[in-house]
Amino acid sequence: MTLPSDTSARALTAAVRSGQLRAVEVARHFAPLADAASRAPEQSGVAASLAERALERAVELDKSGVSGGGAHSFELLGLPVAVKDLFTIEGVDCTMGSARLSFRASETSEPVAKLLARGAVPTCTTHTSEVGMTAYTEPIDLPAPRNPYFGAKSPAGNDPALTPPLTPGGSSGGSAVAVATGVVPVALGSDGGGSIRVPAACCGLVGLKPSHDITHGHLSTPAFLTRSLSDAALLAGVPFPSSDGPASVGQSAPGNRQRTSRPLRIGVTVEPFHAEVGVDKRWANGVWAAADALANAGYEVVEVPGPYDAEGPDAFEIFRRTITRLAARLPEADYSQMVRWIRESGRAIGAEEAARTHAQRMELPGRIRRRWDVDAVITPTLAFDPPRIGHFSSLKPWEDFEEQTRWTPWLSLWNLTGWASLSVPVGARASAESTAGSAHSTTPTMPATSINIGAVRCGEAELLRVARDCWEV
């Protein structure tokens, strides 16, 4: 059976759940794609094929009788999904983004187990940066996946052999490439500072970072890369919004004071939060275009100041200390210079300073809400187009860290606060062939840029509805 490569996750699962397709039919289409992709990791982002396991699982799902209308609790029934190679799957080799760290997993990680419980069928694992520590994907002693969406001109015209490959972002870069090239309809990744939203912006995809609990110091949360808002809603387990008017917030909105139902109040800014950098005009214009579209749709849209008050602590320093302190917990291993530097920076932070940093972080959401009387804020996702592979890693570790921050000077706010955040393409859109076709598809001349819609007093469903109302502006 032949399925269009851009078939949505929602359509696939609906067909299997209703009995129009069997899970094994879907697996027979996507398993060979995973096999072929594993032999071309630079073009596909795939670390390892799980084709044989996928077919076996699909057969078991069909034998269990859960398809054909009896699978109400299996909302992802038969759905092929890629798994970021930081999440373990029992019996499968996991690299953690470095050939030096590779091991055979003895258990399945919780995010993958939850996918299995929802009826999904993992078909491949995907390359990531070493232990997920960078906003670009160049795994150590392993192939670096290439951006299939943004292209660069070669020094000698358009000779593909001389064209410098661009980064797909990270750390979920392999997952983004696998979705963008049609190997899978959706992919599991994680986001601890933009690791879902950056690759989504680089590859013309939707990246939803759900809200997460920061009480115990977590920056990262499992998240998904998809090609559509509808599929993002499906994977996040939230209703896809209807199209009758702008999103509104009532008294039950998360973190909101008591208000009657009203259209969402949307803040906009293109001023960087965490670095001094000139924002590329095209990326800034995407924000203003989205703001105009939302205003025309009935939203209240206002410009907002920076999120941090001058009297408060340096918020990005809170992020830096938090992420490096988390890296300090990594066990001894043969890490790259970059990860060693991050780990050693965290080990230099004493217990008292770490406790003070956590207390400051707990106060940060309240401080920001006092400055931002809005429900969500829109910024660019990136300050400029994806650079070539090697742009960041050729720098000294501390320079690398600073340059990544200049590229993504907004996103970590939503990891610090734990609020939901959504990266969505705006502007010129790629053709179906370039975003969902083969790994050798042509790149559009002017790819879409991307906006980040970050929650302040709302949740995932509201963000998806806002995104719907400025999609393809």
* DSSP state for residue 99 in the 8-state scheme: G
Our measurement of the distance from residue 257's CA atom to the centroid of its chain's CA atoms, rounded to an integer in Å, reads 30
Query: Catalytic residue at 195?
Result: yes
Enumerate residues 6+ apart whose C-beta is below 8 A from 8: 185, 227, 228, 230, 231
**Three-state secondary structure of 15-84:** HHHHCCCCHHHHHHHHHHHHHHHHCCHHHHCEEEECHHHHHHHHHHHHHCCCCCCCCCCCCCCCCEEEEE
- CB count within 10 Å of CB 312 equals 15
- Tokens, residue 437: 């076709």
Query: In angstroms, rounded to a whole number, what is the distance separating the alpha carbons of residues 38 and 150?
Result: 22
Query: In angstroms, rounded to a whole number, what is the distance separating the alpha carbons of residues 193 and 195?
Result: 6
- Tokens, residue 339: 């990860």
Pairing between strand 262-263 and 221-226?
unpaired
Q: List 422's β-bridge partners, or say none.
A: 208, 453
Q: Which of 397, 390, 392 is nearest to 343 (CA)?
A: 397
Query: Catalytic residue at 84?
Result: yes
Our measurement of the distance from residue 80's CA atom to the centroid of its chain's CA atoms, rounded to an integer in Å, reads 18
- Tokens, residue 416: 């610090």
- Tokens, residue 7: 């078939």
Which member of 8, 38, 49, 171 is catalytic?
171
At 354, the amino acid letter reads: A
At 276, the amino acid letter reads: E
Q: What angle do CA 55, 199, 330 make, to 5 degrees?
A: 85
Query: In angstroms, rounded to a whole number, what is the distance separating the alpha carbons of residues 233 and 25?
Result: 24
**Burial of residue 348, with CB atoms counted within 10 A of its CB: 0-12 exposed, 13-18 middle, 19 or more buried:** exposed
Q: Which of 133, 104, 175 is nearest to 335 (CA)?
A: 133
Query: Catalytic residue at 63?
Result: no
**Burial of residue 58, with CB atoms counted within 10 A of its CB: 0-12 exposed, 13-18 middle, 19 or more buried:** buried
Q: List 140's β-bridge partners, or say none.
A: 98
Q: What angle do CA 77, 78, 82 make, to 5 degrees?
A: 110
Radius of gyration of the chain (CA): 21
Pairing between strand 376-380 and 300-303?
unpaired
Which member of 5, 8, 49, 84 is catalytic?
84
Which member of 195, 211, 220, 228 is catalytic?
195
Q: Which residues are catalytic?
A: 84, 171, 195
